[in-house]
Structure 1
Amino acid sequence: MLAESPEGLGASEVATRLDVHRSVAYRLLMALTRQNFVSRDEQGRYRVGLDFFTLAERVRPRLLDVATPVLRELTAELDATTCLVVPENGSAVAVAVIEPPGPGPRFSYGIGNRDPLERGAAGIALLAAGSPREGEQERVATTRRDGHVVTHEEVVPGSTGIAAPIHPAPGESPAAINVITHRRDVAERAIPIVVSAARRISEALGGSPTTAAG
């Protein structure tokens, strides 16, 4: 929203557009400001910050161009929010988010959202996309072997996360696909679909779906 408002937005304008209380909008803006995804000028207006552009530039054009159409297909097939995440300073950062159209509950998960690498499907899948590390969680190794991970309410209350690691070409940063849903039937049928999508992206990037990035 801020990226599409070059003149910047005040906290009240953000609250109105998001349909939330001003205090909620302010907390969101402060969190984004601390991560340098948003900057605040002397007039108290907020614009996208340098890290937003740096992160976008880092993953474009190949990863986003390859992954975005696949995410759209996933969203349409599963009727669930899908996202592409990359590692950044110990966090799993969403760089693309596709929400299903139409009415219905939606999770508050947007571009720039940060989750811990050690908790939640997205972070675990990212760790599994990398090389094995001494002392890593057992479920990271399991995810690396099985090609997917499912978590329940570890990051977003009431949600299930289904994620799969993406293995790009050697020397490039790993990534992962994450599907977020509150529906058990979607979670149960999503696993092979998500794994297949991650494999397609890995192969399109010149990586191997069976070996982790170095």
Structure 2
Amino acid sequence: MTSRALAILGAFDRGHQALSLSQIARRTGIPPATAHRLLGELQSWGALRRDDDSRYRIGLRLWEVGSLASPLASVRDVAMPYLQRLYEVTREEVHLAVRDGADAVFVEYLGARRHGTAVGHRGLRRPLGESAAGLALLAHQGGPALDPDDRLAEIRRRGLAVLPDPSAPGLRTVAVPVVREDGTAVAAIGLCVRAPEAVQRWWDVLTETASRMQHALGHTERMPYDRAVEGSRVGA
């Protein structure tokens, strides 16, 4: 039954945020009667909620549990003052991504988009090769570089990844890795910009932000929050 409950939760994604009983049964292959019983249990626990139109959505309780996941609870918490300062300096959309298997998961966005595109959403998942943040994560896997991809080698050499934004023609995403001592990327910090010259303009700022965040991650227990905020004065 656990596998069936997980299958129901897995039926929801960015393109299917609200589902009826029949849609859930069809997407999971679970008989409607069984799905209805499991949906009731998941709703009682708070993993799902039922709208007035009888469609189900992910519930707040599941979001609360998910927020405790290691990448979100530790890296995101440490990163927040640095991301906020980066946004204050650049006034560009700022995002933070972590790796989950073959995907980059964007665990934080700051700043509404100013170019007529949709505002970024926390939890957005994309294959690593489809965003600058994903490429920055992919290029810094730690250990010897075994891949034959010249693009990844160039990203490692420059310490920076640049890619057109697939969701907004004319925009570019630029990202740098936040790495451990062994060179493995634990996260990537990125900006979304329109002007080509903005990539060069914010390069040093972005790199400095990543460097300060790396230091904070290595000294999390010893760095009080107010010092972290003060230390995030990028370019100061």
TM-score, normalization: structure 1? 0.68
Which one of 168, 177, 180 corresponds to residue 165 of structure 1? 177
Query: Matched residue of 1:176: which SS?
Result: strand
Which one of 101, 114, 135 corresponds to residue 124 of structure 1? 135
Q: Deviations over 1:175-195 (max 9, x none)?
A: 100111223343331111111
Structure 2 residue aligned with 1:176: 188
Aligned 8 A contact 1:169 1:205 in 2: no
Larger radius of gyration: 2
Aligned 8 A contact 1:161 1:181 in 2: yes
Q: Which runs of 5+ in 2 are unaligned?
A: 1-13, 28-46, 220-236
Query: Matched residue of 2:175: which SS?
Result: strand
TM-score, normalization: structure 2? 0.62
**How many percent of aligned residue pairs carry the same amino acid?**
26
Q: Which amino acid aligns with 2:149?
A: Q
Aligned 8 A contact 2:87 2:110 in 1: yes
Does the C-alpha gap of structure 1 residues 91 and 39 become closer, same or farther in structure 2, counting only changes over 3 Å? farther
Does the C-alpha gap of structure 1 residues 39 and 90 become closer, same or farther in structure 2, counting only changes over 3 Å? farther
Q: Which amino acid aligns with 1:109?
A: G
- The answer on 1:47 being equivalent to 2:58 is yes
Which structure: greater helix fraction? 2
CA RMSD, aligned part only? Answer: 3.5
Structure 2 residue aligned with 1:69: 81
Aligned 8 A contact 2:18 2:56 in 1: no
Does the C-alpha gap of structure 1 residues 106 and 185 become closer, same or farther in structure 2, counting only changes over 3 Å? farther
Q: In the comparison of the two structures, how many residue pairs are matched?
A: 178
Q: Which runs of 5+ in 1 are unaligned?
A: 1-25, 208-214
Does the C-alpha gap of structure 1 residues 62 and 171 become closer, same or farther in structure 2, counting only changes over 3 Å? farther
